[in-house]
């Protein structure tokens, strides 16, 4: 399935030109929505989630959805509810005592509701994908064609397609949304760094497991959060210092230094959507900083950007908050 996923993503071009085109188009729509707020405070969640889901739907499903399409609302709802039931401590009783599902367990009821909503959303996407299957070269399109091909070495079930595609969409939404939320908090808390980033964007955009033998079959879990906040690897790990990735001459540090950050994992199990996510985040951040200065509403203080203060969840992200997007002249 992983090979088919990569095949589907590569159908958009080795240079990711089509993914860039799709992403930039939706980012621009999101920026227009920010501009329409006329410098007034607003909650950005719906606009950002819609942007991410429309990008994911087009690349993963090969379909273009309007903002008000049921898929957008249903998938956003799935992420909110699944985040509640799968956050740290929630649902653990079902792992220990599965029979509790027969006695009205609230987390089990929520899981079943999430599953039903997910299945409806995916069915809608698959239906539209199949209507254009001959010209559809998306991830789901590749899955369906492989499922129908008698020469495919391994049988691909409908559930295989649903779960693999759902994982790509779910992971792509929650991680990108969490990263953008953190970006907003940091920009509001560090206007001096925001100004430096804007200067950089203006200049660029406008002009053009150590020593230990792990036995075969062992499942290894890495504490990436701890690794990324290890003062031996990252001095002052709790401070926002984007300049830590630049050398004394202002160039990116060596690949060896950059490889200390493994947000997407490493090795054979590295995230298949890494380049897709990097493209999405880069275009959003660059376009945002080119067009706006992000500030907190007057008389209010933004939540702490320290991830230790975030509520637990599948992905750490802050509680909802308002921003002001001040248009740059």
Report the C-alpha gap between 131 and 193 in whole angstroms: 48
Report the C-alpha gap between 108 and 300 in whole angstroms: 39
Report the C-alpha gap between 303 and 60 in whole angstroms: 34
Q: Is the separation of the CB atoms in 23 and 279 below 8 Å?
A: yes
Has 271 been labeled as part of a binding site?
yes
Inter-CA distances, 38 with 5, 35, 232, 310, Å? 41, 6, 45, 29
Helix (H) or strand (E) holding 198: helix 191-205
Instruction: Select from 252, 277, 253, 281 the least CA-distant residue to 264.
Output: 277
Helix (H, G, I), strand (E, B) or coil at 244: helix
Tokens at 150, concatenated: 């008698």
**Annotated binding-site members:** 271
Question: Per the annotation, where are the binding residues for heme?
Answer: 271
């Amino acid at each position: 399935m992983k090979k088919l996923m990569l095949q589907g993503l590569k159908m958009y071009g080795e240079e990711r030109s089509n993914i860039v085109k799709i992403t930039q188009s939706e980012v621009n729509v999101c920026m227009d929505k920010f501009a329409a707020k006329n410098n007034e405070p607003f909650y950005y969640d719906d606009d950002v989630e819609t942007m991410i889901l429309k990008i994911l739907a087009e690349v993963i499903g090969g379909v273009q959805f309007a903002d008000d399409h049921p898929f957008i609302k249903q998938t956003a709802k799935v992420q909110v509810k699944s985040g509640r039931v799968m956050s740290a401590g929630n649902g653990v009783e079902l792992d220990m005592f599965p029979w509790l599902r027969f006695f009205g367990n609230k987390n089990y009821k929520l899981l079943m509701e999430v599953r039903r909503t997910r299945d409806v959303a995916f069915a809608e996407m698959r239906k539209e994908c199949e209507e254009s299957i001959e010209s559809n070269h998306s991830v789901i399109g590749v899955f369906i064609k492989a499922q129908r091909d008698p020469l495919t070495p391994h049988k691909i079930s409908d559930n295989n397609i649903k779960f693999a595609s759902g994982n790509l969409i779910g992971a792509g939404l929650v991680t990108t949304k969490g990263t953008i939320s953190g970006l907003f908090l940091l920009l509001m808390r560090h206007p001096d760094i925001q100004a430096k980033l804007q200067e950089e964007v203006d200049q660029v955009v406008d002009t053009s497991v150590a020593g230990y033998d792990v036995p075969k079959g062992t499942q290894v879990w890495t504490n990436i959060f701890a690794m990324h906040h290890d003062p031996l690897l990252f001095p002052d790990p709790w401070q926002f210092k984007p300049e830590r990735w630049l050398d004394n001459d202002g160039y990116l540090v060596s690949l060896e230094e950059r490889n200390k950050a493994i947000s997407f994992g490493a090795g054979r199990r590295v995230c298949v959507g890494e380049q897709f996510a990097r493209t999405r985040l880069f275009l959003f951040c660059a376009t945002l900083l080119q067009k706006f200065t992000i500030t907190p509403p007057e008389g209010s203080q933004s939540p702490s950007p320290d991830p230790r203060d975030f509520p637990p969840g599948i992905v750490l992200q802050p509680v909802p908050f308002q921003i002001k997007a001040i248009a740059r002249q």
